[in-house]
Amino acid sequence: MKFSGFKSWLQNERFLRYLSIFTFLLSFIMILVSIFDLGFKHPDKEEEMLRDFYFLGLAGGLVSILIRYFIFSLKHRFKVMIFDWLFVILFGVLLLMRIDVLRENFPPLEFFNQMMFVYITVLLFFIREFATFELKYNRTLLNPAQLFIASFLSLILMGTALLMLPKATVGDISFLDALFTATSSVCVTGLIVVDTGSFFTVFGQTIILILMQLGGLGIMTFASYFSYFFRGQTSYENQIMLKDVTNSEKIGEVLGVLKKILSITVIVEFLGFILIYFSLSKTEIAEISDRLFFSVFHAVSGFCNAGFSTLEHSLYDPAFRFNYPLHLIIAFLFLLGGIGFPILLNLYRYVIYLFKNSIVNFTNKKPSVHSPWVINLNTRLVMITTTILLILGTTVFYFFEYNNTLAEHNWFGKIVTSFFGAATPRTAGFNTVDTGALNFSTMMIIFLLMWIGASPASTGGGIKTSTIAVATLNFFSLAQGKNRIEYHRREISQSTVRRAFAIITLSLLVIGTSIFLIASFDSDKTLLSIAFEAFSAYSTVGLTTGITGDLSEASKVVIIFTMFIGRVSMLTIMIAMLRRVRHLNYRYPKDEILIN
């Protein structure tokens, strides 16, 4: 009777709630301890105490998971069960590693006797517990724009604190430099005030890597996906919020789009990692572990259009300057990341449609008369604009730099470097030539490419390709005397046109203010270099003429704000600050204003 009463108390829902809260707090404390462990130096005795704490904490997590499965008989999805079994297996391995006799008799097991596996298990435990909590989103408290901005601000502040840990850097780093680096990482800009490869340790570089990944896709994307992954459902309010984050057309498609975005990211970055690794030689990077980290770092930095590199002079480093396969791999990575997830998903649907249609036409003798609208107007506009910019930029770069920065390359190298030079200003930030040695004419083209930037809903910045495309179509529409903009048998809405010109105007206002302030604080710098820095910061490009590290503290603060505004966009900040009117149930009489 006593045992049955104890079991019924265990199965009480209140106990389950308390157990979940306790386990989550335990996992959170273990994450904090891991940061303390990784960020500070410890004596041997203290390290042993930390190892014992990890083991006891993970043992508590294992007991919690077993109670949920066997006492409460909670039914999880198959994916979650795999995740849980992975945690159990890792904990079992760590348990075996504490047996000295077993390690001595089986030398291959010594490979698992590393703290890396402990940290991985702790991370899995935290993600497991964090995601089981329901992510409640109250639109009356924060609108999507405010939540979007708040997520970036919190990530920047956390990144700043982590980069200031003693073991994150070789020497001491000031708060401002740490804030600058964290902002540049989260906003996927790539501007640096200290050398990433030599000033930051592997731990510090890993922090930058994580900040780039979270900043490139958005921390809300990751948090929402893991919450849905473990819980299998989400609220209607969360779906409305995610609809704005993922740029989905329908609320019902939100979770599917979220899953595809993360799938595309994982697949592309993994392929990029493999290709980069095999493009490197032992003469460039001798150690296998260093080549692996280099490949992972640059695959993430490339796809996220971050522009961060562990090389002192980026890809212009003497050892990598003529590694054209590496240049092409990274170029295609940031082009895929900068083209936008809606475009990639639409192209994916088009490929699936062509495949299915070819099968139908093969089985049916009578071809289908109906031709569906698979590639939408947004995809057509972005793809054409991107192609024009790449061809125009490559041609101009090749022509103006042929006897200048391209002189040291062969004919193939000139083409690859010109293509890279035309693609990287569109928010990528890597450089294969000395930016400060470029001709003035080339610099002007780079200004334009930086300002335009990548495509909407991508990892890149700038005013976006669709914005400049809509503005250009509006010019031609006005010149032809039309009262609307038409393209490919579709009419572009007036709200899109208004938004495009608002983005253009606000971008020039922010960039102009940034140039004015930096010129006031650092009057010894040339106007060209200051303007280049401001355009690069706003469009989250990361290219520089070399003045970033020499800027005064006030100018660094200006660049920090410029990078942040460029990443979240000034229009989003205004939407977050101003109350949005839902419906206007009246109209005033129309009147004309004299223009031109």
Q: Kindly report the backbone phi and psi dihedral angles of residue 487, in degrees, each rounded to the nearest multiple of 5, phi listed first.
A: -150, 125
Q: What is the pLDDT of residue 63?
A: 84
Q: 229-235: long-range contacts (C-beta < 8 A, 24 or more apart)?
A: 229/79, 229/80, 229/131, 230/76, 230/80, 230/83, 230/128, 230/131, 230/132, 231/131, 231/132, 231/134, 232/77, 232/80, 234/135, 235/134, 235/136, 235/137
Contact 446, 438 (CB under 8 A): yes
Q: Is 137 exposed, middle or buried (0-12, 13-18, 19+ CB in 10 A)?
A: buried
CA–CA dist 203, 162 (Å, integer): 10
Angle (CA) 552 557 560, round 5°: 125
* Beta-sheet strands, E only, within 477-588: 485-487, 490-492
Sequence-distant (6+) residues with CB within 8 A of 149 are: 568, 572, 573, 576
pLDDT in tens, the chain (596 residues): 454 554 555 556 677 777 778 888 888 899 999 998 888 888 888 888 888 888 888 888 888 878 777 776 666 666 667 777 787 887 777 777 777 666 667 766 667 677 888 888 888 888 777 766 655 555 556 666 777 788 888 889 999 999 999 999 988 899 999 999 999 998 888 888 998 888 999 999 999 999 998 887 765 555 555 554 444 455 545 555 555 555 555 544 556 667 777 788 889 999 999 999 999 888 888 888 889 999 999 999 999 888 899 988 888 888 898 999 999 999 999 898 888 877 888 888 888 877 777 766 656 655 555 556 678 888 889 899 999 999 999 999 999 999 998 999 999 999 999 999 999 998 888 888 988 889 999 999 999 999 998 888 777 888 889 899 999 998 888 888 888 888 888 888 888 888 889 889 999 999 999 999 999 999 999 999 999 999 999 998 888 888 888 899 999 999 999 999 988 888 778 877 776 656 567 777 877 777 66
Spatial separation of the C-alpha atoms in residues 210 and 296, rounded to whole Å: 11
Spatial distance between the Cα atoms of 595 and 88, rounded to a whole number of angstroms: 70
Q: Please provide the distance, in angstroms rounded to a whole number, between the alpha carbons at the two ends of the chain.
A: 91
Strand partners, 438: none
Sign of CA pseudo-dihedral 298, 349, 218, 508: positive
Grouping H, G, I as helix, E, B as strand and the rest as coil, residue 340 is coil
Spell out the residues 6+ positions from residue 297 whose beta carbon is closer than 8 angstroms to its own. 205, 209, 308, 309, 310
pLDDT at 230: 47
Among 189, 156, 191, which residue's Cα sits nearest to residue 175? 156
Domain boundary assignment for the chain: 2-132, 144-335, 345-358+375-577
Is the Cβ–Cβ distance between 454 and 461 less than 8 Å? yes
The CA-atom distances, in angstroms, between 414 and each of 335, 406, 410, 426 are 19, 6, 6, 19
